[in-house]
Structure 1
């Protein structure tokens, strides 16, 4: 039992594709007093993402697909990003392999787990597991493009790493997980 939080109650506000809940609790302040707080949390669950790189060409595989929230905030609605997917209870490695094949058309056997990060801890419970993997032209098993029945229409982009890094500075790539992966890869070169 933790001694810094007590009396946690939860009210589910929306239970759709994912859950949005309100939590009320008491939190112990540094001076020992208790303060009642109420917070809303988007219970999204964990996800995986992977930057695929070709060691022979220094190219990376990215995807471009429509993202409604990007459109709603006035950004380019067709987001350039690293392949990713929700875990939904699956093994992270197996889920990532499946997502890579569905989205990019490449079957990848070697991936290295980099780190697990939380992007927006003030209101979202999502932890993202980050991987880097290698691909070669011979690893292509399909055209990729996503799963039509899931509403996916994904364009596959093969981009030289230096161009992808430049796309961050121009604002063409503004997805946080993708920026993290590209910058991590650039630091490791």
Structure 2
């Protein structure tokens, strides 16, 4: 259990501001009341370099009525949004190819993934955030925007909820080069693929990013390319 504040030195992110000016990062979850079979007993801040890692002690009532004490570590990086940009006339999609160290260290041959444009919401609403990301990463000014679904991508440990969108694009709306923000370490290759080729990549190993697989399959099953595939 976490020691009382009076018995320990001030903790950045808890008692005093951390490098991002945050305090009270150990309060998340303490006031949850939506599930009467879950009682949060303690929250420890483990790390807060940029995103936040917490260890929570909770009591969970099992199906037989007994209470069990559990500990869960959660990684809080905020919520995000992603968008599939598609050209319905030319039957193409616009994807980003970029290096992802976590997949590289876990067996991907070079760490370069083909992905739909995506990013964290920060302080924006999902639609505003994904318009920003589409412009920064792929150079597209998004007009009409369709929200497809919302998904928790890794509910066993990561708190992030991802908002999925789709939007048409054309050569006319590709207003900039894209490539991401160099100051954030981004070096993105803009890739235009035939939709059928991108969809085939979800089964032959060329497209292995979860959000991208989901949006491509949605586009084939019930999205902009569904009717053409049925015909």
Per the normalisation by structure 1, the TM-score is: 0.97
Residue 118 in structure 1 maps to residue 149 in structure 2: no
How far apart are residue 89 of structure 1 and its match?
2.6
2:113 to 79, 83, 91: 79
Bigger Rg, structure 1 or 2: 2
Higher RCO (CA-CA < 8 Å; seq separation 6+): 1
Residue 23 in structure 1 maps to residue 53 in structure 2: no
5+ unaligned residues in a row in structure 1: which ranges? none
SS of residue paired to 1:159:
strand
Alpha-carbon separation, structure 1, partners of 2:81 and 2:91: 22
SS of residue paired to 1:183:
helix
Structure 1 runs of 4+ aligned residues shifted over 2 Å read none
- Higher strand content, 1 or 2: 1
Tell me the residue number matched to 1:174. 208
Per the normalisation by structure 2, the TM-score is: 0.80
RMSD: 0.9
Count residues in correspondence.
189
Q: Deviations over 1:4-33 (max 9, x none)?
A: 111431101111110111010100111111
Alpha-carbon separation, structure 2, partners of 1:11 and 1:89: 25
5+ unaligned residues in a row in structure 2: which ranges? 1-32, 227-231
1:69 to 102, 110, 116: 102
Tell me the residue number matched to 2:173. 139
